[in-house]
Amino acid sequence: MKCENCGKNNANVKYTQIINGEKKQMFLCEECSQKLGINDLHFNMPINFTSFLADFFNDMNDISLMPSLDNVNTIKCKKCGLTWDDFLHTGKFGCSNCYDDFELRIDPILRSMQGATNHVGRLGEVRQGNEVKQNLDDKIQKEENENVRKIEKLKNDLKQAIKEERYEDAAKIRDEIKKEEE
């Protein structure tokens, strides 16, 4: 694409301007963008996730949002001594016990951010441990029952193929039975 200003050089700068909801785009070469002063625009906005988390959690500290947690900043991990303020500034827990000690504070935040507080893997639904195990056991039992029925059908097909003297078909069915039984 050629520069929309000079029409000579290849455009390598895309300039977008939005004024009062009207969007205008220009594709310029390096030289024209410097002449127009577009290359002098610098936007240094590094993302600091620690401050992002602190701001997010500080919003949750607002007493009007959560009046029962007005002394939450004094919460401290019993094992490592990490305070809630320390966690807000670093974004990291000090030990595994922090998850338990800050549970009342973290759970509503996790629930609002990702919809749940428990990771359930590929199941796609949030369930409690025993319910997940029961559903998995039911699924395995169902698959085993289907497998048994399939093997029984194959054995009947094998008998029929032998009876009709279709020995090539019988050999294929025999191999399929062995595969299913494994």
Specify whether the CB–CB gap between 116 and 126 falls below 8 A.
Answer: yes
Q: 57 near 88, Cβ under 8 Å?
A: yes
Region 21-46: mean pLDDT is 74
pLDDT at 15 over 70: yes
Instruction: List b or e across 63-82, with b for residues whose CB sees 16 or more CB atoms inside 10 angstroms.
Output: eeeeeebeebeebbbeeeeb
Q: Considering the chain, what percentage of its residues have pLDDT values greater than 70?
A: 71
Helix (H, G, I), strand (E, B) or coil at 28: strand
Q: What is the pLDDT of residues 61-95, one digit of tens each?
A: 554 444 444 444 478 899 999 988 888 888 888 89
Q: Backbone phi, then psi, for 91, in 5-degree steps?
A: 75, 10
